[in-house]
Structure 1
């Protein structure tokens, strides 16, 4: 094979790889859209949408995790938490509703302020979605003064 044909072949293969990557990325379902299509929204607040669900919160979290794998998952006092690129999804009781899905946009909600830090490292504000940073601490004291 001539050198020109090898360059042409490598260009075609590179283009095919880019197309496959784009198709693969677009085929990954958006969890917010899935929840909006699948569950009935009953309220919208300044920082979240709330949806009715049925069954145990852990089962609903399993179903959502099967649709799109979360970056982190934790549970606390009967509520399941799933962290995605741009969203925190909390599944648990809300008032007299035994199963509610709360979808909170990480960029708008209390996430950046560390509201979910108690859930562990995957929910720390310095997570991949660009929270408020996660410094090593040590803001005062010591012989050198404040850092």
Structure 2
């Protein structure tokens, strides 16, 4: 092989490596909201988030969602499952006449204006000390 062909081959390999790196990095960032919207039918939307219909038990649906992307925290209470991600909180449980509903809320919107917003049972910290009731929420600060 000539020297110019080797330079051409090295350049082509560098371009292919860069394309693979960019593609791999983009696959690392999973968007839970996009996953849910592509797998479940949206039936309601408001300023706080979107709601989707699901079938099966809330626990099974939450397990499927968590199988796609592991949540930063998970809790359950009263037949509902709560999945907290870096940018979203996902609630799976009965709502109205639906035995299984998924609600996706943007955490950035919940924390706007510096206000404390309760993220659901089992998530820590609970409400801040000196809050509306003057107590830290519950045992160990968990509401």
Which bin holds the TM-score, normalised by the shorter protein? 0.5 to 0.7
Distance 1:58 1:50 in 2: 17
Q: Compute the displacement of 1:107 (Å).
A: 0.7
Q: Compute the displacement of 1:117 (Å).
A: 5.7
**How many residues are treated as equivalent by the alignment?**
114
Question: After TM superposition, where is structure 1 displaced by more than 3 Å over at least 4 residues in a row?
Answer: 22-25
Task: Pick closer, same or farther for the CA change 1:138–1:51 going to 2, 3 Å.
Answer: closer
Task: Pick closer, same or farther for the CA change 1:56–1:27 going to 2, 3 Å.
Answer: same
TM-score by length of 1: 0.65
Please name the residue that 1:101 is paired with. Answer: 102
User: Which ranges in structure 2 are unaligned for 5 or more consecutive residues?
Assistant: 1-16, 132-143
Please name the residue that 1:84 is paired with. Answer: 85
Cα deviations by residue, 1:9-43 (Å, 9 ceiling, x for unpaired): xxxxxxx69x64x5443113311001011100000
Contact 2:73 2:123 in 1 (8 A): no
Cα deviations by residue, 1:46-74 (Å, 9 ceiling, x for unpaired): 10100000000000000001101111110
Please name the residue that 2:122 is paired with. Answer: 119
Please name the residue that 2:48 is paired with. Answer: 47
Distance 2:103 2:119 in 1: 13
